[in-house]
Structure 1
Amino acid sequence: MKPIKKIFAIIAAAFLAMSFTACGEGGSASSADADSLETSSTEELQPQGEALMTAGVVSDTQLEADVGPLASNYNAPAQFKRALEYYKAIDVDVLFFLGDIVNNAQQSSYDLYNSIMDEVFPDKSARPEILFNVGNHERFVGVSGKPNNDKEFTDKQFTENTGEELRAHKKIKGYSFITIDTNVYDSNDCITRGSLNYLEKEAASAAEEADGKPIFVGIHPPVAGTTYGSFGNSDATAQSSQIDGILRRYPNVILFTAHCHYPLADERSIYQKEYTAVNTGSCSYCCLGAKNEEGKIANSAGIKFDNVMSDGSYRPYPNELTGANSHDQGQGLVVKAYENAVTIDRINFNTGKAFGGQWIVPAAPTTDDFIYTDKRGETDPVPEWKEGHEAEAVLDGLQIKISWKEAMTEGAPVESYVVSAVKFGTDIPLAQKCIVSDYYAALGEPGRYALKLSLTEVASKYQVKIQPYNCFGRSGEPLYIDVAGPRI
């Protein structure tokens, strides 16, 4: 054999019109049809008049004064400050903290929280109303040798340092806000019977007084079978069925949950069935949470990710080409209540901009009004390549180096890419990788990606396939790149 030489294959873009088949039985729909379905539904829900109430919703800042080995990746105080400054600038009526604002119950952590609050809102009398969920980290004692389920200590630390109650029902600008606490740091008794009874009583009271208005509920862990990551082997609370049994009576409930640090950019972060459930993301770091049947962190189609850390944090590796960094994510929500609707905007506090499109919920819906349902898996548009993309494949020995610039149609974000190489004319992969896109970082710029595929067989010609997936496990047409093999 002669030595294998580097051979470059640079591809000029070529595009075909694309269509997709719906996942449900009995037919298909074009991406244009899906767009029109979503557009017509949201157009009917456009808010009327001025906002009657504005809330800033944020969670999981994990504030800690002594971060130790986390220091190199720790930017939570700056992220929390940015969030508060953003909410102050738009003059929110409510700050809704969904828990894990502090990383443990030590005094130094609460002192850090209060110092940032004092810096941004020095006049306490002029602060927005505050609701504060107790998360599992507010229950974390955080001292070596001491039990983490010291409820008396953590209760005292929370109430004395925040001035808030463990459970609360506040009426703000005519809207009910209800919170219940997480009971212990790590236990099946996460939500106590007392908290469930409180939720049942206060939800019924709020419903009687709602008068066509939404009811806002905050619980730190998610309810199973609702938003992204709450299905199967998840971080959902063990009391999910009891909570669901209470809230399903009230279609005007909007439930906010946190805990998981899952990306707000994922369209599965809102879900409607009997009520509306919304994931609040994270104001510190981002994780991925959907697992496949083998228990591996996977994309929406169940294909294992190859660019996610295996240390148990399930964070995407940083993308040096774009600066996307899962360790430094400051995201939250702006919720506005109007006479006829509630709008929910996702905010990247690093850029100071909303991203991902606005979610709109009727103020007093029936379940027939819901559009963020399981049907989105059939109707949401798939990503489509458009003019302006760049793609390159370079053969180097028995490796193919592949790079591309994202260029997709609007309204169809790419959750992940599956990149494979086959011997030309066959469909058997010689190598394959699945990577999460930069969508979680909400950078507002097209993603750039690069990876290497190690080939298992020498061939005279290869074909590389880059296949984009949306958040619901459906793929658009792949981009193909032909690559000449080595001279033998």
Structure 2
Amino acid sequence: MSIGRFAGLALAGVALLGAQAALPTATAAAAVTQSEVAAPAASLESGRYVGPQSITFTAQAGAEIRYTLDGTHPTRKSRLATGPIAVERTSNVTAVAFTDRAESLPTIRGILVKSAEEPLSQFAVMSDIHLSTGTGPSWDKWTGYFDTLRRIMPSPDAIISNGDQINDNHFNTASDHQYPRTMLEQNLARTGMTDTKIMMSFGNHDDRVYRMAEQYPDAWFPGETGYYEAEIGGFPAFVVNTEAWNIAQANWLYGRLDALSKDPATQGQPIFVFGHRPIPATVWDGAQASNSGLKQNLSDFPQVVYFSGHSHLNITDERSIHQENFTSVNEGSMSYGENDGKFQAFGPGLARDATIPTAQSVVVDVYADRIEIDRINYAADPGRTYTDEGVWSFQEKPPFNSSGSLAGPTWTIARGATPAETQAKFTYTKANRNAVAPTWGEEQPTVRQTESGPVLRLPQAGDDQFTSEYTLVVKDAQSGATTTLVPANGRIYSDYVVAPKPAVLDIPLAVRAGDRVGQPIDRTLESGRSYEATLTAYDSYGNASAPRSFAFTAGDIDRSGIERATTAATAVVERVERVLGVLSPAEPADFDVVVADVSGAKLAAAELRSRIEAAPTTQDAADAAAWAIADATQELAAHLVPVDRGGLAAAIAKAHAAIDAAATTQARVTASGDETELKLRAELAEAEEIQGTLNVPQSALDAATDELTAALTAWQTSTDTGTGTGTGTDPGTTPGTDSPDTPGTGAIQGNTANGDPLADTGSAVLAGVGVLAVVALGAGGALLAARRMRTN
């Protein structure tokens, strides 16, 4: 491509570069554009692997992939995936595909990196199945759940279902136990786990003990007391009935634990105890706990690891493991999760609700010197357990993108040779609780106007574990009074259980009546009024960030993107109009392009102006308008076709140089020379007119260049070969009144020895040319008109 043509393309694209700078940020567009880009494909599935791994993500053409290794949602600032990603340790690897204006849904893989050492025993503990139907999503989801478990533990020694197999609340639906039994039998057979032991405990939703026992094989739930002893992979295990703790059960359990602790053959072994309800002042600081008597029973045995469910409290929270006199583990819930009652976004309004859309359990590997407990998500996709109208809707569309992701790092419990040595190695104690507070990043919070009202867009605070929640205080900037938007004791949930954890939260600045799901909004902010907001971030241990304050006006729209796009668009519109002669004066660069489709360009310009003049009423609409203006600008700019006037300019300069050089010599015009010089001057005049005319297509420029070049060549040839013309360096002579030794007025003098027409110094002096001809040459118009008549 010639320099002139490249310059034309570059100038035509200047406005497009400006339009690209006007595009909304990725976070602004993400909520409405995720479906436009396919999620990256991953070379590995979630599951258990021996040794470090590498994983490769691929995306559609034109998209780039950004990734994280800490379970957070990638942003445009995250690391760029340019090849295989090394996974050195157990991690959630998350990838997102980005285009210039959109992003995909995340692809997340939970990669459990284990050593080659074979565990002595493996088992899975899950709780709160709550399965009381045999059809629909509540049934189908278990296929995916067991596929996830099989990728982690293909042949576990045992699966413990730790209470609440069904949803009974009135002690009259024991027959519902047929559903969890059938589900388990089918999936055990389908996944090849037929040798896996099933152990069940009795929960508060399981009707009555004896009725539950009637529904299952004795090997799954023996006897009618709800408590029994078993073993898992050679290690002692006990199931207790936390719904009916009594002296008989206490004496039985204490006696067996005491015997195992004193027996040299077993005193260094871990003892696994399973009960539905948690123990006071242990996991989650004892939330929803009971049975203080059980705690007294276990406190003399540090080698005990007690697993509980019931609370549905999520296991992403690090308070789900506790060590003091023994180890307590919350294994989560397989039906739905909970937090400790925070405000969540339900459509256009906040409401306080504890339930969250997760299904989680733990898997356990027992080694000679340690126990490793991994926390598994079976469902942790973004969403809510209730619709905005307050209707239960959790887990309606399996399978889940997050299935197999990890709810947190591996918990490792060191083993000792004796109970005392085991207790000395406890690390998950109150004394060792995390004391690092969340910190704010560089990105500032903003308030966006939506159709339903203002929404706080909050880039999440960072933490060495995770940010759990936020407080939000909003004051009226005019009066200084604190609004009642969110109660002083209200905490806003950070969605930290979602996999991946969101990088940005959209928090509606409106609250539903009574703080309840499904109720109408009764607290919001006044549009057009200015406010001051203060945010504080907390982790799950209550460590607080420094406050972050900012000011905003409710209802304001950030139009900076539109303004930047409009500046670029206006430049393109005005250039098209100058090229078409609608707008003047023209700029030099306007001669480097043409508009071939004049009517199409006018329509595109009108469409672009209408987009510029639109007045969006929401921030999303403003962001969309900026993109639309950028797109329309690109469409209009496509009508500007670059042309190269360099060839014609060179031909004009060459003709002028030849004529000027000829005028400095003494020469005379032959009969043929008169005609060729007239032709040359006519072509030169027309070429200069074309060169100074806007919107001339390349074909016309090339034709004018060729014709001027041909006329110059013909003229130079005629002056070199005319009567009396000299050749080489000797002047030619023709008959006349002049001396033979002196060139006459009709002489032609030239030097074409080098064969370059530009080097020709000969000139033709017009003889017998009338005044009218000179005037015509000077004006150029008559000759141009004549030329056009000849060529038409």
TM-score (norm 2): 0.44
Question: Aligned AA for 1:475?
Answer: A
1:197 to 1:442, Cα distance in 2 relative to 1, 3 A:
farther
Query: Residue 156 in 1 paired to residue 221 in 2?
Result: no
Q: Percent identity?
A: 21
**Cα shift at 1:131:** 1.8
**Cα shift at 1:265:** 0.9
Q: Output one character per residue of 1:408-432: Cα deviation in whole Å (capped at 9) or x when no partner.
A: 24x3212111122235599863345
State which drifts further: 444-453 or 74-83.
Answer: 74-83
Choose 1 or 2 for highest CA Rg: 2
Q: How does 1:49-60 map to 2 (within 5 A)?
A: 49-60=117-128
Residue number in structure 2 paired with 1:441: 498
Cα pair 2:405 2:499 within 8 Å, conserved: no
Unaligned residue ranges in structure 2 (runs of 5+): 1-23, 28-113, 344-348, 380-402, 511-522, 557-792
Q: How does 1:378-389 map to 2 (within 5 A)?
A: 379-387=434-442, 389=443
Query: Residue 469 in 1 paired to residue 533 in 2?
Result: no
Equivalent of 1:286, from 334, 337, 344?
337
**Cα shift at 1:356:** 1.5
Q: How does 1:157-176 map to 2 (within 5 A)?
A: 157-158=215-216, 162=220, 164-165=222-223, 166-176=226-236
Matches of 1:218 and 1:259, distance apart in 2: 12
Equivalent of 1:419, from 472, 476, 486?
472
Residue number in structure 1 paired with 2:187: 120
Q: How does 1:303-342 map to 2 (within 5 A)?
A: 307-309=351-353, 314-315=354-355, 326=356, 328-342=357-371
Residue number in structure 1 paired with 2:707: none
Matches of 1:125 and 1:370, distance apart in 2: 34
Say which SS state the counterpart of residue 206 (structure 1) adopts.
helix
Residue number in structure 2 paired with 1:369: 425
**Cα shift at 1:460:** 7.5
Question: Aligned AA for 2:131?
Answer: L
Cα pair 2:471 2:535 within 8 Å, conserved: yes
Matches of 1:229 and 1:76, distance apart in 2: 31
1:153 to 1:195, Cα distance in 2 relative to 1, 3 A:
same
Query: Residue 203 in 1 paired to residue 257 in 2?
Result: yes
Matches of 2:468 and 2:199, distance apart in 1: 33
Say which SS state the counterpart of residue 476 (structure 1) adopts.
coil
Q: Output one character per residue of 1:339-369: Cα deviation in whole Å (capped at 9) or x when no partner.
A: 1111111100132122311111112354342
**Cα shift at 1:306:** 5.7
Say which SS state the counterpart of residue 249 (structure 2) adopts.
helix
Matches of 2:540 and 2:440, distance apart in 1: 16
Query: Residue 354 in 1 paired to residue 406 in 2?
Result: yes
**Cα shift at 1:447:** 5.0
Cα pair 1:54 1:335 within 8 Å, conserved: yes
Equivalent of 2:144, from 82, 89, 100?
82
1:428 to 1:249, Cα distance in 2 relative to 1, 3 A:
farther
Matches of 1:249 and 1:425, distance apart in 2: 62
Matches of 1:81 and 1:106, distance apart in 2: 25
Query: Residue 406 in 1 paired to residue 470 in 2?
Result: no
Structure in which a larger fraction of residues adopt helix: 2
Matches of 1:426 and 1:363, distance apart in 2: 62
Equivalent of 1:230, from 267, 286, 291?
286
**Cα shift at 1:82:** 3.4
**Cα shift at 1:479:** 3.3
Residue number in structure 2 paired with 1:3: none
Unaligned residue ranges in structure 1 (runs of 5+): 1-9, 14-45, 68-73, 141-149, 184-189, 290-296, 300-304, 316-325
Residue number in structure 2 paired with 1:63: 131
1:229 to 1:64, Cα distance in 2 relative to 1, 3 A:
farther
Matches of 2:260 and 2:138, distance apart in 1: 34
Q: How well do the aligned residues superpose, as a CA RMSD in angstroms?
A: 3.6
Residue number in structure 1 paired with 2:752: none
Matches of 1:182 and 1:352, distance apart in 2: 30
TM-score (norm 1): 0.69
1:112 to 1:447, Cα distance in 2 relative to 1, 3 A:
farther
State which drifts further: 197-206 or 246-255.
Answer: 197-206
1:282 to 1:485, Cα distance in 2 relative to 1, 3 A:
closer
Matches of 1:182 and 1:486, distance apart in 2: 54
Residue number in structure 1 paired with 2:238: 178
Cα pair 2:197 2:220 within 8 Å, conserved: no
Residue number in structure 2 paired with 1:95: 159
Say which SS state the counterpart of residue 63 (structure 1) adopts.
coil
Q: Output one character per residue of 1:380-437: Cα deviation in whole Å (capped at 9) or x when no partner.
A: 32222335x463214799x75312243524x321211112223559986334533112
**Cα shift at 1:448:** 2.6
1:119 to 1:66, Cα distance in 2 relative to 1, 3 A:
closer
1:111 to 1:457, Cα distance in 2 relative to 1, 3 A:
closer
Cα pair 1:394 1:483 within 8 Å, conserved: no
Matches of 1:48 and 1:175, distance apart in 2: 21
Cα pair 1:402 1:450 within 8 Å, conserved: yes
**Cα shift at 1:229:** 5.9
| Larger RCO, structures 1/2 (Cα 8 Å, 6+ apart) | 1
Question: Aligned AA for 1:436?
Answer: Y
Matches of 2:185 and 2:527, distance apart in 1: 65
Cα pair 1:96 1:130 within 8 Å, conserved: yes
Question: Aligned AA for 1:157?
Answer: Q
1:473 to 1:246, Cα distance in 2 relative to 1, 3 A:
same
For these two proteins, the number of residue pairs brought into alignment is: 388
Cα pair 1:93 1:128 within 8 Å, conserved: yes
1:151 to 1:371, Cα distance in 2 relative to 1, 3 A:
closer
Equivalent of 2:295, from 235, 244, 253?
244
**Cα shift at 1:137:** 1.5
Q: Output one character per residue of 1:206-241: Cα deviation in whole Å (capped at 9) or x when no partner.
A: 32343422111111111111111624xxx322x32x
